[in-house]
Amino acid sequence: MASVACIGECMVELRQAQGGASAGQGGGLYSRGFGGDTLNTAVYLARLEVKVDYLTALGDDALSDEMIAAWHAEGVGTRRVVRLPGKLPGLYMIQLDAKGERQFFHWRDSAAARQLMSLPETDELLNSLMSYDVVYLSAITLSIYDAPGRERLFTAIKRARLLGTRFVFDTNFRARGWPDRDVAREVFATAFAAADIVLTSTEDLLALHPGETHDQLIARIPTPELVFRLAEPVSLLRFPGGTSEVRAEPMTKPVVDTTAAGDSFAAAYIAARLAGAEPVEAAQAGHRLASIVICYPGAIIPGYAMPPKKRHRPAGSRQATK
């Protein structure tokens, strides 16, 4: 079975509950959950019957124990999770303003996950990347490590690629995670050069290169396989041998929450490619799952809402994404 290593951070999430205080009134009720972009992708990969491990660091606290239990329940492997005595996971709060728009507030500077690239266990963890068919991470993942940590990670990814591991980079860009955009642009360029597949969007790239056209943005990414999501539900694909435009099917249900739309798209795309689908078919699968996810509140939809798994032509695990 093909295997994927998802690298990143899962945080404690406080979400304003329905009936909570309005903006500016103080107080209010919040529900507690867990969230993280690459963790969302890992969960959807597991639901799509892909063998997936989540690589991160957590504390030895009760909240970290709850995370581990929840990941196990979803079928996400936790053998690569490093537990750090005395540390805690990060925390973020989602608050609604008077117009119902979401605002995010983070407390993560001392979170355990930020130390993942500078631990006694780091070498063993990075060496394990060679045993996976795909390594998946996002720009948010890269933003939590310092420059030496990112260099260490990229070196390990390049080493794993020599043995056939594919590197999939998702440009999930959040400005607050970077000291400035120049640093982000430099790191993105390094990731683009190392990646086999890049999943990106106009929203992410225009934040770094404002005013550029689609063609100019695409030209910045040398990777052989590229999925470029537009503001509307359309993806522009570039792959060896051609290009294509893939449109999502029209929505038949109201959009409730766009959280994890990109994360679920990434999972469905990777799962389809590993199963032998061509890029166009994989993008269709990505749009199909994302269009379901945005019809439910929160990042992870109920299991019963998952689309039926589509069978693709058989392919060798190491070759499927090439």
DSSP 44: H
| Joined tokens for residue 262 | 């990109």
Q: Is 182 a catalytic residue?
A: no
Sheet with 30-35: strands ordered across: 30-35, 11-16, 91-96, 102-107
Could you give the CA distance from residue 49 to residue 65 in angstroms, rounded to a whole number? 24
Catalytic residue among 53, 133, 170, 263: 263
Q: How many CB atoms lie within 10 A of CB 38?
A: 25
Could you give the CA distance from residue 143 to residue 312 in angstroms, rounded to a whole number? 35
Please calculate the CA angle 224-229-233 and round it to the nearest 5 degrees. Answer: 140
Helix (H, G, I), strand (E, B) or coil at 274: helix
CB contact set of 312 (below 8 Å; sequence gap of 6+): 272, 275, 276, 277, 281
**Which positions are annotated as active-site residues?**
263
